[in-house]
C-alpha cells in the first residue's frame, strides 16, 4: 500500500487505483495519551459494538492516542484497503494500512 494522497475528491484504491470503493466497517479508538485502554467502537453493516474499557493497542493505528480505521472493499481488485486516521503529537495523518493492522509509512 502507499501513503495517502488525493488528486481529486475521489478516494482511489491504493492497490489498483480503482474509483469504486465501498465502506465496509469503521473502528474508532479514543484513549488518554499512552493508555492501553479506552473507548473502542466498531461499526459494520449489521452490528455496532462499543466498549468503554476496550483494548486501544490492538488495531489502533496510533501508538499513543486516538485513531480511526475505515475498511473498504474494491470492485476492481481483491484487496481490502484500510484507511487510517492517526493522531500523533497534535497532528492528524491519513495513511493506508497494510494487512497486519500496522501503518506502512508510520507514526507508531
- Put the strands of the sheet holding 91-97 in their side by side order: 48-55, 37-44, 21-30, 67-74, 82-88, 91-97
pLDDT digits (tens, 9 = 90+) for 27-61: 999 999 889 999 999 999 999 999 999 888 888 99
Distance CA 62, CA 85 (A): 8
pTM for this entry: 0.82
Domain ranges of the chain: 27-97
To 5 degrees, how large is the angle CA 75–CA 14–CA 54?
90
Partners of 40 in the beta sheet?
29, 51
How does pLDDT run across 86-107, given as a tens digit for each residue? 988 888 998 998 654 444 334 4
pLDDT at site 104: 38
Amino acid at each position: 500500500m502507499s501513503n495517502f494522497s488525493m488528486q481529486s475528491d475521489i478516494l482511489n484504491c491504493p492497490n489498483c487505483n480503482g474509483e469504486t470503493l465501498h465502506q465496509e466497517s469503521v473502528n474508532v479508538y479514543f484513549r488518554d495519551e499512552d493508555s492501553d485502554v479506552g473507548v473502542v467502537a466498531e461499526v459494520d453493516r449489521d452490528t455496532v459494538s462499543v466498549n468503554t474499557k476496550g483494548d486501544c493497542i490492538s488495531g489502533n493505528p496510533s501508538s499513543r492516542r486516538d485513531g480511526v480505521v475505515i475498511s473498504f472493499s474494491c470492485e476492481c481488485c481483491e484487496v481490502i484497503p484500510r484507511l487510517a486516521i492517526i493522531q500523533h503529537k497534535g497532528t492528524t495523518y491519513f495513511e493506508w494500512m497494510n494487512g497486519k493492522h500496522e501503518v506502512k509509512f508510520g507514526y507508531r
